[in-house]
Amino acid sequence: MRIKSIIMLAALGFLMPGCFATQYGIPSVVNIINNGGVGRSGSAESSDMVTGRACATSYLGYFAIGDASIRAATRAQGITKIASVSHTTEGVLGLTAEYCTVVRGWK
């Protein structure tokens, strides 16, 4: 009976999403593999544009480390004028999830 309970708990743990990378209130559920992105704004394109990226990583859905803010992404490349902001998510097996903010603009 004890082994059956352990197996059931393990199955529930696998079926329940372990990590969430939220995109403006829309959770990106990660049970096996997730790799996606969402563009938010902007249409400018120029050869002198640079891209800044800032990420936060979640482990097991319990711990999150990092700064995925627009401010951190602009500081990464010294961007002073923003052209577009987008977000990406990646995750594997509910163990880790990474949420990144990608900012394109000019120095």
pLDDT in tens, 74-95: 998 999 998 888 888 887 776 7
Report whether pLDDT(27) > 80.
no
Average pLDDT, the chain: 75
* Beta pairing class for 50-59 and 96-106: antiparallel
Strand ranges inside 42-95, DSSP E: 50-59, 63-66, 81-92
Q: Would you state the pLDDT for residue 20?
A: 46
Between CA 106 and CA 50 the distance in angstroms is 6
pTM across the whole model: 0.64
Q: Would you state the pLDDT for residue 24?
A: 43
Report whether pLDDT(69) > 50.
yes
